[in-house]
Amino acid sequence: MNFKENVRIAIMAIRANKMRSFLTMLGIIIGVGSVIAIMTIGTTGKDFLIDKINEAGGQSVYISVNNKSDGRYSISGLTEDDLELIKSIDKVQYVLPEISDMGGLSTKLVPDGYCSIDGVTEDYQKAMDVKVDYGRWFSSDELKAHSKVCIVSHKTARKFFKTDNPIGKTIDVKCNDQLVTFKIVGVSTDVESTLFSTDDMESMMSSWGIDFNFDKIGYIYAPVTTVMDIYGMSDYSGVSVLAYDVMELDRVGQMAVNMLNARHGVFDDSVFEYQNMATLVDLLDTVINVFTIFISSVGAISLIVGGVGVMNIMLVSVTERTREIGIRKALGARTNTILFQFLTESVIICMIGGLIGMAIGFGLSFAVSVVMGAPVSFKISTILIAVGFSSAVGIFFGIYPARKAAKMPPIEALRQTG
């Protein structure tokens, strides 16, 4: 009997007992579906987070001042001269100081809103590829003059001005008990991708006793010098440094720390510190991968349970078809022929269950990705794992019933059924 005939007989046997076959597949469906969903959602979430971190400067090195060092040095932060010193390193592309905080935001249309305000430099737009659709980014002269200008997101423009293009209009921001009026010079679609997330703001507002209302939250960029004035700051606690080559980040960080130590006469390696953000991204990637594999392994336990169900139902099938086995062996069917017939049926049951589970798993993953607002990440390896797992379960748990049927003596088989 060839493979095609085995498949035909297996499908006939499955169709003859539809409900029993479906219940047998259920464990495989749940197992494969859960593993597919967990792996795909894990990959989607990981890619989404890493993309966001990279957008916010993940491929950079962060230079900071450790104010908790042994106290021998009175260095409160990095000065403009320190930033110029770091910029002089030949591998450095951008030096980006940044101050982020939240405050009140109001316009004539929405007088009681809130905002995430991000103080940055004129280089931030190019370094982070922030696209300005209306107006412009603020200039270096405006940065030096501590000008009260800002860039808002499209959503902020629509929420607070009911228009896509509020260029030239003003917006009042209350930070550090100061009310500052900013003039809008640009509108960007990408402001929100690098600032506080909705969940971050909801958590922060809840801690302040503020009822969270996303419709009253705005996102703005402003010159970092202006934001420092608002908060009474004269130095930077840290800066992000982007190199031309990501592989040079550690070297750039160490050079920057050495040059700052020399400039300030510091002989303590703990005063100025650097952190390669790309290393953190790699660490996050590893942690999420390990966590996803661990959870997927727990979900795969249901595959074992499903496999036991397949073995049980195949043993029942062998018992029910004892006479058929006896007749076929009496007519000259070989042991291997009987073996492969029942093994094929077991594998097909698991494969069908695996395909249904795969469809359900991908469906759940797509639904979760829509809720997350992230593009779903499908991997060929995930599909191969699902197909391979279901096939392996079919072979492993089907081999015993198949061998039992194949080794059955024909005379005994015929005698048992009368």
Among residues 113, 3, 128, the alpha carbon closest in space to that of 60 is found at 128
The most confident of the ranges 225-234, 328-337, 339-348, 381-390 is: 225-234
User: How would residue 414 be classed by pLDDT, with cut points 50, 70 and 90?
Assistant: low
Residue 239 per-residue DSSP state: E
Residues above pLDDT 70, as percent of the chain: 86
Cα dist. 210→2, 103, 197, 351 in Å?
Answer: 72, 12, 17, 53
pLDDT in tens, 261-271: 888 887 777 78
Please compute the mean of the pLDDT values over residues 181-201 and round it to a whole number.
67
User: How would residue 137 be classed by pLDDT, with cut points 50, 70 and 90?
Assistant: very high
Q: Does the pLDDT value for residue 100 go beyond 70?
A: yes
Please compute the mean of the pLDDT values over residues 76-95 and round it to a whole number.
88
Instruction: For residue 382, give both structure tokens.
Output: 């995930």
pLDDT in tens, 150-163: 999 888 898 899 88
The more confident residue out of 270 and 52 is 270
Asked if 361 and 35 count as a contact pair (C-beta separation under 8 A), the reply is yes
pLDDT in tens, 296-351: 777 677 777 778 888 887 777 777 777 777 777 777 767 777 777 778 888 888 88
Asked if 256 and 60 count as a contact pair (C-beta separation under 8 A), the reply is no
Instruction: For residue 392, give both structure tokens.
Output: 């392996």
Q: Does the pLDDT value for residue 186 go beyond 90?
A: yes
Q: Does the pLDDT value for residue 56 go beyond 80?
A: no
pLDDT of residue 397: 77
Predicted structure pTM score = 0.59
